[in-house]
């Protein structure tokens, strides 16, 4: 039996309301993974970024277009055995959303037997690949590397195919003289050359992370990309 170095794999934790998309793997040559459920994704090719690999893999496997929200704070190491030898995969997970108005995800190639939108409370009904639950758990517990309540800055942009930015959203934190926590939300339309801002006053830090995560997911589903943040771990499009 031969051995080879680890393979980099990317997986998408695709969120829709309270559900996560699971794909059933069809890989008879790998009995330990065959017909098990996983977060969809695949291998990163030579000279390809993890982000670009995930966009490509989801389009090939599910026929759908996604936007990544952030890199999840978990790295999974899986080892499988086949007739060709040991297969060692290092898996990175990305919180993702389906682009609005696009093709619904479906089994678009032989490697995927079927797909299902599953509630997290029903995960015990599925025979999951190792690491699936750990990645999904990260969705409920955003890490401080992605959001720091005392130093928030996130910018999302929508661009034309040429790369020109047409719209943007910015979120950043502000403390006033009374030490109250506020979030400034700014939207810019670079086509019409207009912008407006809104201040959310006296924000509760306990609920901030959840609310901001949902806001970024919503914008990502509308075609916006996270292009800047106070921590590179959040900017999935730059990885």
Model confidence pLDDT, tens digit, residues 144-179:
555 555 567 888 999 998 889 999 999 887 776 666
Q: Which two tokens stand for residue 171?
A: 């979120």
The gap from C-alpha 233 to its chain's centroid, in whole angstroms, comes to 12
Domain boundaries of the chain, sorted by first residue: 7-140, 153-238
Average pLDDT of the chain?
Answer: 85
pLDDT at 239: 41
pLDDT at 147: 52
Candidate from 11-20, 66-75, 112-121 with smallest mean pLDDT: 66-75
pLDDT digits (tens, 9 = 90+) for 183-225: 889 999 999 999 999 888 877 766 777 778 888 889 999 989 8
Of residues 63 and 184, more confidently modeled: 63
Burial (CB < 10 A; 0-12, 13-18, 19+), residue 15, is buried
Domain 7-140 has CATH 3.90.79.10: yes
Cα dist. 37→59, 75, 126, 221 in Å?
Answer: 18, 18, 7, 24
pLDDT at 58: 97
Residue 227: pLDDT band with limits 50, 70, 90: confident
**What is the rounded distance in angstroms from the CA atom of residue 229 to the CA atom of residue 209?**
14
Burial (CB < 10 A; 0-12, 13-18, 19+), residue 38, is buried
Cβ atoms of residues 183 and 152 within 8 Å? yes
pLDDT at 62: 97
Place of tokens 């794909």: 23
A 10 A CB-CB count for 31 gives 11
């Amino acid at each position: 039996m031969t051995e080879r170095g680890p393979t980099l794999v990317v997986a998408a934790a695709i969120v829709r309301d309270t559900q996560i998309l699971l794909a059933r793997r069809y890989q008879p040559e790998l009995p330990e993974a065959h017909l098990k459920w996983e977060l969809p994704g695949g291998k990163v090719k030579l000279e390809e970024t993890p982000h670009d690999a995930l966009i490509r893999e989801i389009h090939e496997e599910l026929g759908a277009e996604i936007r990544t929200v952030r890199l999840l704070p978990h790295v999974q190491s899986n080892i499988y055995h086949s007739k060709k030898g040991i297969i060692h995969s290092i898996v990175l997970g990305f919180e993702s959303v389906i682009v609005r108005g696009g093709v619904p995800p479906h089994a678009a190639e032989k490697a995927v037997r079927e797909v299902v939108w599953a509630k997290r409370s029903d995960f015990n009904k599925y025979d999951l690949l190792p690491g699936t639950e750990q990645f999904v758990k990260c969705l409920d517990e955003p890490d401080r590397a992605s959001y720091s309540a005392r130093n928030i800055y996130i910018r999302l942009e929508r661009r034309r195919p040429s790369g020109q930015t047409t719209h943007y959203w910015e979120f950043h934190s502000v403390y006033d003289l009374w030490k109250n926590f506020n979030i400034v939300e700014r939207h810019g339309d670079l086509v019409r050359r207009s912008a407006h801002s809104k201040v959310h006053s006296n924000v509760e830090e306990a609920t901030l992370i959840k609310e901001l995560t949902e806001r970024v997911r919503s914008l990502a589903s509308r075609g916006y990309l996270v292009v800047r943040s106070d921590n590179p771990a959040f900017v999935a499009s730059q990885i």
